[in-house]
Amino acid sequence: MPLIPTTKPRLNISQQLANSLRDMIFEGDLGAGERINEVHLSEALGVSRTPLREALTLLVAEEAMINIPRRGFFVRELTRREFEDLYPIRSILDPEALRLSGIPSVGSFATLERLNVEIRDATDMKTRVSLDDAWHLELVSGCENQILIGLIMNFMNRFRRYGLAFARERKVIETANQEHVEIIHALRADEMDEACETLRKNLTSNKDPILAWLDERQDLEG
């Protein structure tokens, strides 16, 4: 009898709901700043309020929601402030993970190059963003520090909301695919420092257009 079950036990409803709600936020079904009506939403999803509230609580801790006592749950706003704050952190997390990973394996190099082609060919922004995230995860796949990887994935999710919300209004960002090539090139040459520096640049390549869009948005409200 294994202490840790070999097959992953099926998720309970709360955990499934957390995944669904996360997707609904990405898709824009739950808009930024929107208030959650627990009764309506639970009925719409065909569950009761208890597991829904637990799922919302999980998202609060992920910073995707906020909970104001006696007023309820709200989808977190997209703010210039948060967006700007995320960058310097991600810019140190990813290179650190790359250093810990070391030079990629032969198979990993192949995957990185394959993904890079797929990114270039992707037509819609949603798959492009997914593939870009997959590329960055593959880049640090040799990193055994699961806490660091978990952090990076959380930051990916937080960035993704901005990228997708932007894309809904502005179609596509021409992500700097060339930098991925440069990073691979540097790693093949065993130039870790150079790879990290290019990676740091690559991580901020989307910044300006989205910042400009956020400012416009702000102006419309104010």
Q: How many chain residues bind its own copies (CB under 8 A)? A: 34
What's the longest Cα–Cα distance across the chain?
Answer: 62
58-72 in b/e form (b: 16+ CB < 10 A) is bbeeeebbbeeeeee
Choose among its own copies, DNA, none what residue 89 binds, the Cβ cut-off being 5 to 8 Å by kind: its own copies
- Burial (Cβ within 10 Å: 0-12, 13-18, ≥19) of residue 6: exposed
Nearest Cα to Cα of residue 138 among 116, 164, 160: 116
Q: DSSP letter at 143?
A: -
Supply the minimum distance, in Å, between the C-beta of residue 61 and DNA: 15
Only one of the segments 24-32, 38-46, 99-107, 187-195 lies at the binding site for DNA (rule: CB under 7 A); that segment is 38-46
- Residue 110, interface with its own copies (CB under 8 A)? no
Q: At what angle do helices 49-61 and 38-45 cross, to 10 degrees?
A: 110
Q: Measured from the CB of residue 73, what is the shortest distance to DNA in angstroms?
A: 7
Whole-number minimum distance, CB 38 to DNA, in Å? 3
State which amino acid sits at residue 132: D
Q: How far is the CB of 5 from its own copies (least distance, A)?
A: 8
Q: Identify residues 158-217 at the interface with its own copies (CB under 8 A).
A: none
Q: Is 35 in the site for DNA (CB under 7 A)?
A: yes
Which one of DNA, its own copies, none interacts with residue 73, CB within 5 to 8 A by kind?
Answer: DNA
In the list 23, 43, 85, 215, the residue contacting its own copies (rule: CB under 8 A) is: 85
Partner that binds at residue 168, options DNA, its own copies, none, CB closer than 5 to 8 Å by kind? none
Identify residue 174 by its one-letter amino acid code: E
Q: CB 90: neighbour CB atoms within 10 A?
A: 19
Query: 94: Cβ–Cβ under 8 A, 6 or more apart, which residues?
Result: 136, 139, 140, 152, 199, 200, 203
Count of CB atoms within 10 A of residue 117's CB? Answer: 11
Could you tell me which stretch among 19-27, 47-55, 167-175, 210-218 binds DNA (CB under 7 A)? 47-55
Residues forming the site for its own copies (CB under 8 A): 9-12, 14-15, 50, 53-54, 57-58, 60-63, 67-71, 82, 85-86, 88-89, 92-93, 96, 100, 145-148, 151
Residues forming the site for DNA (CB under 7 A): 9, 12-14, 35-40, 47-51, 53-54, 67, 69-73
